[in-house]
Amino acid sequence: MNTTAVGRRAEAVAADFLRYKGCEIVSQNWRTRWCEIDVIAQRARTIYFCEVKYRRSRGAGSGFDYITSKKLRQMRFAARNWMHQHRWPGEYQLCAIEVSGPQFRITGVAKNL
C-alpha cells in the first residue's frame, strides 16, 4: 500500500470512529490552495476539525508528537478558512486522532487542541 493509500485508510478509520461517537462527517480531505483538513465532523452545534496521524509502530514516537505549534497554527488557519467559506456560526474544536499498526486501530484522541 502506498503512502497516499495508507493515509486515506487511516482517515477512513478515523471518520468511522467519529460516526460511532455520534458525529456526522461533513468532509474528508478538505483542501484549498493554502491548507487542508483531514476530517471535518459535526455533532450538535459544534464542528470538529480533525488531524489524523498514522504510525505503523511506536518506534518513531506517537502520532501526537507531530502535532507541533506550527501544525496547530496551520490547523487554526484551515479551520478559520473553512468557517469563513461556509459561514459557520457555531462552535468549533480542533482535535487529533492517532491510528496505529497494521490493523489501523484508533490508539488516541486529543480534543480541544
Identify the structural domains of the chain with CATH numbers, from first to last. 3-110 (3.40.1350.10)
The answer, as to whether pTM is greater than 0.85, is yes
Copy the grid coordinates of residue 93.
Answer: 474544536
Spans in the chain with pLDDT lower than 50: none
Looking at residue 104, what is its pLDDT?
92
Cα–Cα distance, 107 to 97 (Å, whole number): 8
Cα–Cα distance, 42 to 46 (Å, whole number): 6
Sheet holding 36-43, edge to edge: 24-31, 36-43, 46-55, 91-100, 105-110
Q: Is 27 exposed, middle or buried (0-12, 13-18, 19+ CB in 10 A)?
A: middle
Spell out the residues 6+ positions from residue 108 whose beta carbon is closer than 8 angstroms to its own.
62, 63, 64, 96, 97, 98
- Give the residue carrying C-alpha cell 486515506: 8
DSSP character at residue 10: H
Looking at residue 84, what is its pLDDT?
94
Looking at residue 49, what is its pLDDT?
97
